[in-house]
Amino acid sequence: MKNAVGREIPDFLLTNGKEVYQGKNYMDGKYIQKASPRTRRCEAPQESKIVASLVDALKACGAKSGMTFSFHHHLRDGDFVVNMVMKAAIEELGLDNLTIAASSLGSAHDPIADYIEQGKVVGIQTSGIRGRMGEVVSAGKLPTPAIIRSHGGRPRAIEGGEVHIDISFIAAPTSDCVGNCRGIGGKSDCGSMGYAMTDAKYADHVVVVTDCLVDFPNMPASVEAIDVDAVVVVDSIGNPKKIASAAARISQNPRDLMMAENVAKVIASTPYFKEGFSFQTGVGGPSLAANLFLEQYMDERNIKMGWAIGGICGPMVELLKKGKVGKVIDVQDFDLDAVRSINQTPNHFEMSASQYANPANKGAFVNKLDFVVLAALEIDTGFNVNVLTGSDGVLRGAPGGHPDTAAGSKVCIIVTPLVRGRMATVCEHVVTVTTPGDCVDVLVTDYGIAVNPLRPDLIECLDKAGIPHVSIEELKDKAYSLVGTPDDLQWEDKVVAVLEARDGTILDVVRKIKPYQLDG
């Protein structure tokens, strides 16, 4: 069945009430039955929940084959915990048929690819998938398709019971002996623990894995002891160098700067750019650099930003400290400046993924967002964006908060170079739709700006400000004139991943790619 972005969704996926994507805000006003976990009472006073090893923790939580384990990705490419837990479960306890439900997975988790090939891991649910795992999943090695959700879609699915977590493993930079966790104060700090919070509330069992045990009570806790069954102390939960970069530096690449300047110009041309406006930006080169130019416009007009959300890094913390932003609400930290600031700098707060972006609660932060600036691997003439699959059709990206912020914000700006090497970023049809075009408003490239025809109000703003813009088709034509028109990718029928829209409908599927024939 074809969905609202023109993608053919196979019928076998449309069971148990699953629908195809119908357009923005389709589920608005509908009711959701929340799931509740089955948890163990700890009525008798307990001195400590520390157990000797991951194996003991798994046993204590009744781990068995066929279960779903959840993880957060705050340790990003430095994470040791996913591999550690899966090794204990599979190699020491002999479990199989396991599903990993993670808020994201990266190249740190390459060893899991082996477990997939061995048939020990049979399900993957995640926001991001890269490295070897992306390759084996793309090669169709999972018996069931991987499920890819946005950062807001994941807590929706957990709260609604679509994902039932048997055991959640929470990597904690610090914990006390009963499981109050924080993202700071240890040796592998990650700052916000926003992506772990829903897991802790909805999992049947929760195991905290830490490398820094601190005195009770570890307050204010990001994950609270009341939800924790066991605490395991290990030598190291991750490589700090890969958890948070030293400092996210603003790009000096002239192309990025030129695009960033145009992003700021577009923002400043709209009526939403006024005292107290709200803002989110990615940490990619041109997105982050937009902060710099935006600040110049804020100074010029003598206005301040009301609040900023998202993954946070140094430049935003700087603005907060300078008093140019009222509040920063933080689901994830990208560099040490942000890690050190959270809950320390006045008005720098932590939030959960659900609070950030869940479309099925009663109003997430993204719903009140004025502007979001995002990157793209590809964007097509319908303004559909792909941030998941590479030009070769292999999984190597993450929707993250992209679809959530795009849908919630008043102005969603995509900033990307027109071509990367020989790849046309602006194209006829994206490989995979990860953010639907009805949520995307403006495209800024190094060769020009295009506004979604669904937003005549913004077209008027740009015209009034004298900002030149062209149709997205013209940008696509320019891209193809530079790099040539690409051949279509050749797919097999087998579906290797299902891309859920943030509301739970099906936005797209990723199929297995056919080996390329040079002489075909």
Partner 1 sequence: MEVKKPAVAGTLESSDAQVMIEPGDGKIDLSLQSSVMNQYGRQIKATILETLARLEVTSAKLTVVDKGALDCTLKARVECAVFRSCDASDANIPWGGAVR
Partner 2 sequence: MIPRPRPERFRLRRTMMFMNAQKPGLIKDAYIYGCDSIMLDLEDAVAENQKDAARFSLYHALKTVDYGDTEVIVRINGLDTPHWQEDIRVCVAGGADGIRIAKCESAQDVKTVEAAVEAAEKEFGVEVGRTLLMAALESPKGILNAYEICAASERMFGVAISGGDFRKCMQTTPQRDGVDMLVARGQMLIAARAAGVQCFDTVFTNLDDAEGFEAEVLQNKAMGFDGKSLINPKQIRFVHQVFAPTEKEIMQAEKILTAYREQSAAGVGVFTVDGKMIDIAFIPGAERTLKLARACGMWEGDLV
Interface positions with partner 2 (CB under 8 A)? 252, 254-255, 257-258, 421, 446-447, 482
Nearer to partner 2, 257 or 364 (CB): 257
Which class for 146: exposed (0-12), middle (13-18), buried (19 or more C-beta within 10 A)?
buried
CA-closest candidate to residue 148, choices 28, 311, 34, 13: 13
Nearer to partner 1, 297 or 491 (CB): 491
d(CA 50, CA 179): 9
* Residue 346: half-sphere exposure toward Cβ, Cα within 13 Å: 4
Q: What are phi and psi of 213, to 5 degrees?
A: -85, 130
Output the smallest distance, CB 415 to partner 2, in A. 15
d(CA 408, CA 416): 21
Residue 63 Rama label (left phi>0; alpha psi -120 to 50; beta): beta
Output the smallest distance, CB 252 to partner 2, in A. 8
Contact 193, 222 (CB under 8 A): yes
Give the residues lining the site for partner 1 (CB under 8 A).
391-393, 420-423, 482-484, 486-487, 489-490, 513, 516, 518, 520
Residue 254 contact, options partner 2, partner 1, none, Cβ 5-8 Å cut-off depending on partner type? partner 2
For every residue of 196-257, DSSP letters joined together read GHHHHHH-SEEEEEES-B-PSP-SS-SB-GGG-SEEEE-S-SB-HHHHSBS--PPP--HHHH
Residue 257 contact, options partner 2, partner 1, none, Cβ 5-8 Å cut-off depending on partner type? partner 2
Output the smallest distance, CB 373 to partner 2, in A. 20
d(CA 415, CA 404): 17
Residue 252 contact, options partner 1, partner 2, none, Cβ 5-8 Å cut-off depending on partner type? partner 2
Nearer to partner 2, 252 or 302 (CB): 252
Nearer to partner 1, 93 or 489 (CB): 489
Residue 465 contact, options partner 2, partner 1, none, Cβ 5-8 Å cut-off depending on partner type? none
Total number of residues shown for the chain: 520
Output the smallest distance, CB 485 to partner 1, in A. 9
Residue 393 contact, options partner 1, partner 2, none, Cβ 5-8 Å cut-off depending on partner type? partner 1
Tokens 């046309």 correspond to 424
Nearer to partner 1, 17 or 421 (CB): 421
Residue 15 contact, options partner 1, partner 2, none, Cβ 5-8 Å cut-off depending on partner type? none
Contact 405, 280 (CB under 8 A): yes
Nearer to partner 2, 249 or 327 (CB): 249
d(CA 96, CA 226): 29
Residue 258 contact, options partner 1, partner 2, none, Cβ 5-8 Å cut-off depending on partner type? partner 2
Q: Which two tokens stand for residue 334?
A: 């990208």
Nearer to partner 1, 421 or 468 (CB): 421
Output the smallest distance, CB 109 to partner 1, in A. 24
Helix/strand/coil (H/E/C) assignment for every residue in 241-286? HHHCECCCCCCCCHHHHHHHHHHHHHHHCCCCCCCCEEEEECCCHH
CA-closest candidate to residue 192, choices 221, 153, 234: 221
Output the smallest distance, CB 46 to partner 1, in A. 56
Assign 294 to helix, strand or coil: helix
Residue 454 contact, options partner 1, partner 2, none, Cβ 5-8 Å cut-off depending on partner type? none
Output the smallest distance, CB 7 to partner 1, in A. 19
Q: What angle do CA 225, 227, 232 make, to 5 degrees?
A: 65
| Amino acid (1-letter code) at residue 257 | L
Output the smallest distance, CB 488 to partner 1, in A. 8
Residue 302 contact, options partner 1, partner 2, none, Cβ 5-8 Å cut-off depending on partner type? none
Nearer to partner 2, 341 or 445 (CB): 445
Output the smallest distance, CB 421 to partner 1, in A. 3
Nearer to partner 1, 6 or 486 (CB): 486
